[in-house]
A and B are shown apart, each in its own frame.
Chain A
């Protein structure tokens, strides 16, 4: 007799749930009879007295289950909410949530690199000096504090949105940075090669490029054949070729020394005369004193 009551009650509940799509509904009331049997077993009272009308029971069930009515199927919004809910409850998400402290550290590090860059004008990935360490430490503490507050739901509305925006910007910034790194390398790992021995930087004066040097003695006499060397002992050579000059080779003599000043320059534009003049005072390899 109880079985009939249960079956009839369950049947009416199912009918009241007709608006829910069949798969959802079947899932919902899968073991309704067993459940009602438990309720019935507790006392002799009729089910309607204990649980209310089947229609009311169905309405409550539906509300608690969160099912949408069958009209038009599930809305996009519901589907999105379900998907987001599914993501939040997934194992991967749970793992990611556990890894949040790692993100706090990374975030602080990225922010530090930005600050280092703005204060020092140079990108580097490791703290250099006590000031850099101080910046990193302060940002670590701040990042962790913000992280803990966000995790515990302490940040709301605009603040939370703002933080999200900052996070997105940092991550994009980091991606761009590492893309640049992959292409050009970190600046703090660059070692500058020694310039090749015979290369010199281009000396310039306020009057323009230097193509030649004209040495004079202290008492105003022009000197010739002055051999110049830089601080490393490399011959000091001017890039006169870049300015359209070449060394005039004295007739019959040895090739001129390229660091013996003044240089016997002549313009490469001028067509060399077949019979080059041989002026006296050829620069010699021995400096005069």
Chain B
């Protein structure tokens, strides 16, 4: 199964979860998602998702100057983002349970 297709639906939740742990800048989010096991996550998808979540008012952002590299725009969850994360977590939990039950039923036959 194509993981990138699956990822499309849950990338928001993945990004929110990563940012809930600690504030991050764009490429750091990509790296952390890949380290967590989502190796196929696209750079542009994450960047686009961050910008969309920011536009939607779920994230706050601030620029941290860097001496050696470029300035980094950090993103973090605000109250709206945290509510979004908790709602999406519930939705995902229910969905995953349903899928697991469905597949378990088939497996046990």
Contacts and interface: CB of A to CB of B under 8 A. Distances in A.
Contacts of B57: 86, 89-90
Main secondary structure of the interface of B (DSSP, over half): helix
Nearest to A42: B27
B39 interface: no
Given A27-B51, A152-B94, A38 B46 contact: no
A61 interface: yes
Contacts of B80: 89-91, 94
B52 A35 contact: no
Contacts, number: 86
Contact of A35 (B26, B55, B56, B84): B26
A105 interface: no
Contacts of B73: 31, 34
Nearest to A151: B90
A267 B41 CA distance: 104
B43 A85 contact: no
Contacts of B43: 39, 50-51, 57
B33 interface: no
A34 B71 CA distance: 7
Nearest to B73: A31
Interface string A63-90: 1111000000000000000000110011
Contacts of A90: 57, 80
A89 B47 contact: no
B11 interface: yes
B49 A64 contact: yes
B69 interface: yes
A61 B44 contact: yes
Contacts of B90: 152-153
A64 B11 CA distance: 9
Interface in B15-70: 25-28, 42-49, 51-52, 55-58, 69-70
B27 A28 contact: no
B48 A38 contact: no
A31 to B, nearest CB: 5
Nearest to A38: B27
Among A31, A62, A86, A90, the most chain B Cβ lie within 10 Å of the Cβ of A31
Top 3 nearest A-B pairs by Cβ distance?
A64-B48, A38-B27, A60-B44
Given A31-B26, A91-B79, A152-B94, 5 more contacts: A31-B73, A34-B71, A39-B27, A65-B49, A86-B56
B69 A27 contact: no
